[in-house]
């Protein structure tokens, strides 16, 4: 990405190509693994209401902001901020994003490793794949085993490093353009199957009937904001880079809206696939970060030809996870390349291996480094929470303040393609106080600070 960023001419070949590429970075484990477990923990329907508010009121305007910063500065994530606002305080925005990228990368490939492990399991076609088999126990045993946990994590990380080193991200994007629609089709199919299960009624009730108690809890809103930023891919400059390739004739507000709607629909469809199984097979919806991994084998076990669906599903999910991991590693690598003048290969290897070292305790956190109580949060849960509920919101506050204060209204509005009309005025004005304040409040209340 960075190589092309230097050349002003690099642009997406079509609006369609940009949308699918951005959707490729946005759609990942966040939509399947994270959305389902966070929704399950936060009361289902109440969480979904809070999530929709978070996506439309905060996700959409901030996505427009990140894309506008990228397109008008035509720079990578690090230099874009510096070009628009060279003054010191704004640098922190870039820094927080960088730290968040590294933190998320220390566990994202661990989860991707669980996906790859499942893929291998279904390819081999051995072991318990029948309905009612103890899928939870098998999964827990697999992630507790240090050899399995580490080797799958290393494999995913090695693939990520190799791809970033080669700088073939655009090749990956092209692959994305083909595979994304296949993945979505498969999801819809599996959700349709999920809805035929006995527990579908209870799943629908859980997902779409708000629990008023949960709606009153500040934690529900913090979880929703954190999940919205994670899933859209906000808060670390990935979309700044993507925005830098958007042709000036394309409408950013419309593209951003289609992206957030697409990303949300995919998460909801994934919910329709996972929760019927959760209720049919008596899994606790608040099971935690392993929820999707316990519920999905039940779906595949129950459906005719489930093994083949499982292979296709986990293969596509591995690819979706890989494209997201690549976009995350690109942030610190681009920074090192720009700062130190290193080659991409060296930067990817050094940065990637350092992150790999950080991820080792995370990968071992479900076995030899597991917390003493079975229901206690693991290291992975902690890093996941801190990055999404603190770092991403902080960085989003920085982006909003930068657009609101470092950029004057006419410049910002024209960069966003919102020069005329009330929406543009609302967008820029809200960046000054309303958006940062809302994020700050949700965060402080959710964490119990105020
Ligand atoms: N959005 C991706 C997912 O849902 C993860 C991801 C990729 C991400 N790039 C990001 C999250 C940038 C935050 C910021 O799996």
**Per-residue confidence of the chain (450 residues) as pLDDT tens digits?**
444 444 444 676 666 777 877 888 899 999 999 999 999 999 999 999 999 999 999 999 999 999 999 888 876 666 777 788 777 677 778 888 889 999 999 999 999 999 999 999 999 986 556 766 678 888 888 889 999 999 999 999 999 999 888 876 666 666 777 788 888 999 999 999 999 999 999 999 999 998 889 999 999 999 999 999 999 999 888 888 788 778 888 899 999 999 999 999 999 999 999 999 999 998 999 998 999 999 999 889 888 888 999 999 999 899 889 989 988 998 888 888 888 899 989 999 999 999 999 999 999 988 888 887 767 889 999 999 999 999 999 999 999 999 999 888 999 999 999 998 899 999 999 999 999 999 999 999 999 888
> Checking phi first, is residue 237 left (phi over 0); if not, alpha (psi -120 to 50) or beta?
left
In this structure, the residue with its CA closest to atom 7 of ligand 1 is 324
Residue 347 in contact with ligand 1 by CB distance below 6 A: no
Say how many Å lie between the CA of residue 325 and the centre of ligand 1: 8
Report the distance separating Cα 58 and Cα 61, nearest Å.
Answer: 6
Find where tokens 């498969």 sit: 186
Q: Is 236 in the pocket of ligand 1 (CB under 6 A)?
A: yes
> How many Cβ atoms sit within 10 Å of the Cβ of residue 8?
10
Ligand 1: does its nearest atom lie under 6 Å from the Cβ of 161? no
Model's pTM, two decimal places? 0.92
389 in Cβ contact with 222 (< 8 Å): yes
Pocket test residue of 233, 383, 398 for ligand 1, highest count of atoms within 8 A of CB: 233
Q: Whose CA is nearest to atom 12 of ligand 1?
A: 233
Question: Distance (Å, rounded) from C-alpha 175 to C-alpha 25?
Answer: 12
Q: Are 223 and 446 in contact (CB under 8 A)?
A: yes
Instruction: Pick the atom of ligand 1 nearest to 238's CA.
Output: 12
The radius of gyration computed from the CA coordinates of the chain, to the nearest angstrom, equals 21
404: part of which helix (H) or strand (E)? none
**Nearest ligand 1 atom to alpha carbon 232:** 1
Compute the distance between CA of residue 194 and CA of residue 38 in angstroms, rounded to an integer.
Answer: 19
- Decide: 328 in ligand 1 pocket, CB within 6 A: yes
**Pocket flag, ligand 1, residue 112 (CB < 6 Å):** no
**Cα-to-centroid distance, 26 and ligand 1 (Å):** 6
Q: How far from 76 is each of 4, 94, 373, CA to CA, in Å?
A: 9, 11, 44
26 lines ligand 1 (CB under 6 A): yes
In sequence order, what DSSP letters do the residues of 80-134 get, joined into one string?
HHHHH--SHHHHHHHHHHHHHHHHHHHHHHHHHHHHHHHHHHHHHT-S--STTS-
From the CB of 401, is ligand 1 less than 6 Å away?
no
- Ligand 1 pocket: which of 30, 228, 236, 334 to mutate (most atoms within 8 A of CB): 30
Ligand 1 lined by 1 (C-beta under 6 Å)? no
Indicate the top mutation candidate among 28, 240, 270, 334 to test ligand 1's pocket, ranked by most ligand atoms within 8 A of CB.
28
CA-nearest residue for atom 4, ligand 1, is 30
Protein residue with its CA nearest to atom 6 in ligand 1? 233
Distances in whole angstroms, Cα of residue 219 to Cα of each of 11, 40, 216, 223, 385: 40, 13, 9, 6, 12
Which numbered atom of ligand 1 lies nearest the CA of 321?
15
Mutate to test the pocket of ligand 1, among 317, 327, 383, 390 (most ligand atoms within 8 A of CB): 327
CB-hemisphere CA count at 13 Å for 445? 15
Is 160's C-beta closer than 6 angstroms to any atom of ligand 1? Answer: no
Separation of CA 230 and ligand 1 centre (Å): 5
Residue pair 31/111 in contact by the 8 Å Cβ criterion: no
- State in Å: Cα 239 to ligand 1 middle: 10
- Which value, to the nearest 10 degrees, does the dihedral of the CA atoms of residues 240, 243, 245, 247 take? -150
In which element (H, E) is residue 277 found?
A: helix 252-280
Determine the pLDDT at residue 1: 40
Ligand 1 centroid to residue 420 C-alpha, Å: 31
Ligand 1 pocket: which of 183, 324, 387, 394 to mutate (most atoms within 8 A of CB) = 324
């Amino acid at each position: 990405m960075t190589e092309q960023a230097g050349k002003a001419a690099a642009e997406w070949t079509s609006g369609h190509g940009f949308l699918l590429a951005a959707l490729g970075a946005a759609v990942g484990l966040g939509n399947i693994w994270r959305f389902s477990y966070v929704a399950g923990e936060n009361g289902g329907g109440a969480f979904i209401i809070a999530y929709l508010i978070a996506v439309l009121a905060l996700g959409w305007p901030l996505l427009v902001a990140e894309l506008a910063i990228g397109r008008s500065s035509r720079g990578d994530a690090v230099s874009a901020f510096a070009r628009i606002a060279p003054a010191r305080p704004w640098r922190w925005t870039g820094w927080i994003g960088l730290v968040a990228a590294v933190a998320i990368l220390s566990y994202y490939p661990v989860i991707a490793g669980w996906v790859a492990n499942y893929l291998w399991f279904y390819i081999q076609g051995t072991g318990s794949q029948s309905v009612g088999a103890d899928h939870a126990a098998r999964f827990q045993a697999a992630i507790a085993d240090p050899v399995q946990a580490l080797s799958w994590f290393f494999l995913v990380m090695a693939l990520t490093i190799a791809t970033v080193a080669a700088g073939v991200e655009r090749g990956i994007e092209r692959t994305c353009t083909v595979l994304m629609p296949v993945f979505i089709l498969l999801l819809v199919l599996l959700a349709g199957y999920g809805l035929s299960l006995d527990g579908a009624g209870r799943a629908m009730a859980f997902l779409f009937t708000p629990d008023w108690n949960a709606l009153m809890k500040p934690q529900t809103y913090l979880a929703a904001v954190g999940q919205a930023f994670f899933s859209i891919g906000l808060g670390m400059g990935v979309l700044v880079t993507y925005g830098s390739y958007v042709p000036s004739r394309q409408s950013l507000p419309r593209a951003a809206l289609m992206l957030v709607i697409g990303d949300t629909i995919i998460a909801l469809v994934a919910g329709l696939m996972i929760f019927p199984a959760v209720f049919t097979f008596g899994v606790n919806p608040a099971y935690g970060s392993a929820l999707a991994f316990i519920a999905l084998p039940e779906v595949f076990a129950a459906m005719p030809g489930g093994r083949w669906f499982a292979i296709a599903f986990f293969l596509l999910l591995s690819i979706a996870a890989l494209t997201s991991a690549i976009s995350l590693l690109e942030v610190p690598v681009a920074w090192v390349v720009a700062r130190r003048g290193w080659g991409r290969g060296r930067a990817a290897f050094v940065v990637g291996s350092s992150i790999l070292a950080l991820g080792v305790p995370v990968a071992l956190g479900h076995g030899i480094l597991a917390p003493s109580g079975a229901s206690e949060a693991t290291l992975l849960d902690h890093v996941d929470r801190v990055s999404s509920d603190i770092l991403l919101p902080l960085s989003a506050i920085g982006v909003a303040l930068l657009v609101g204060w470092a950029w004057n209204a006419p410049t910002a509005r024209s960069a966003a393609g919102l020069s005329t009309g009330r929406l543009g005025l609302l967008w820029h004005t809200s960046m000054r106080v309303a958006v940062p304040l809302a994020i700050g409040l949700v965060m402080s209340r959710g964490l119990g600070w105020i």
